[in-house]
Amino acid sequence: MSDDGELVERCRSGDREAWDLLVERYSRYVYAVIVRGFRLPEQDAEDVFQEVFLRVYERLDNLRDGDALRPWIAQVTRRLCLDRLAAGRSELAVDEEQPDRQVLDELDEALDVRLGLEALDERCRELLDRFFARDEPYRVIADELDLPMGTVASRISRCLDKLRDLLVEGRNPGPPPS
């Protein structure tokens, strides 16, 4: 059973921590698809974001194969974005007509890397996330993680090595047990 399969099973049994983890794992992807792939304006984007997780929460029991969680969430997100556009409630986005396929493909690849990140130790995860995804400067990272500022760049480089190894070798054992 993949990590997602196990996660789905835990969610189905009412495990709140598992639901938190599911939201944490997919919220960035869902957000990016809505805002960058479909370019929905903020109010519509927030509604669709909540609808996606609501639908996932309500229909998780109907998902036959827990391992299909990722493509299912992607499909639900895209469908709800298209519905929103079709409803014509999004005046800014309705002229765009189609999602940006190139962006959607890029986001799928980004999710691969994001899931790989979960397999790294917490320190590396924090470092890479803060620097690349949260765009925090070295000084802030050094303060927050209690690191000498002069070592931040080299640590980031080493963590990138580890992540690349995981991605290349396909050794993604999933995140450590929570």
Partner 1 sequence: MTERTHTPTHERIAQLLAELPPAPWGWVEAARELPRMDSIVERAAADAEYRARVVKDLEAALAEVGLEPEPPLLDELRHRLRDS
What is the rounded CA–CA span in Å between residue 124 and residue 126?
A: 5
Please report, to the nearest 10 degrees, the dihedral formed by the alpha carbons of residues 120, 126, 127, 133 taken in order: 100
Query: In whole angstroms, how large is the CA radius of gyration of the chain?
Result: 18
Q: Is 107 in the site for partner 1 (CB under 8 A)?
A: yes
Taking CB under 8 A as the criterion, the residue among 94, 134, 151, 176 binding partner 1 is: 134
Taking CB under 8 A as the criterion, the residue among 82, 133, 145, 153 binding partner 1 is: 133
What is the rounded CA–CA span in Å between residue 147 and residue 136?
A: 14
Q: Is 98 in the site for partner 1 (CB under 8 A)?
A: no
Taking CB under 8 A as the criterion, the residue among 40, 53, 69, 74 binding partner 1 is: 53
- Burial label for 73, CB within 10 Å (0-12, 13-18, 19+), is buried
Q: Which tokens go with 38? A: 């479909």
Candidate segments 12-20, 94-102, 136-144, 146-154, binder of partner 1 by CB under 8 A: 12-20
The footprint of partner 1 (CB under 8 A) covers 14, 16, 19-20, 23-24, 27-32, 46-47, 49-51, 53-54, 57-58, 106-117, 128-129, 132-135, 157, 160-161, 163-164, 167-168, 170, 172
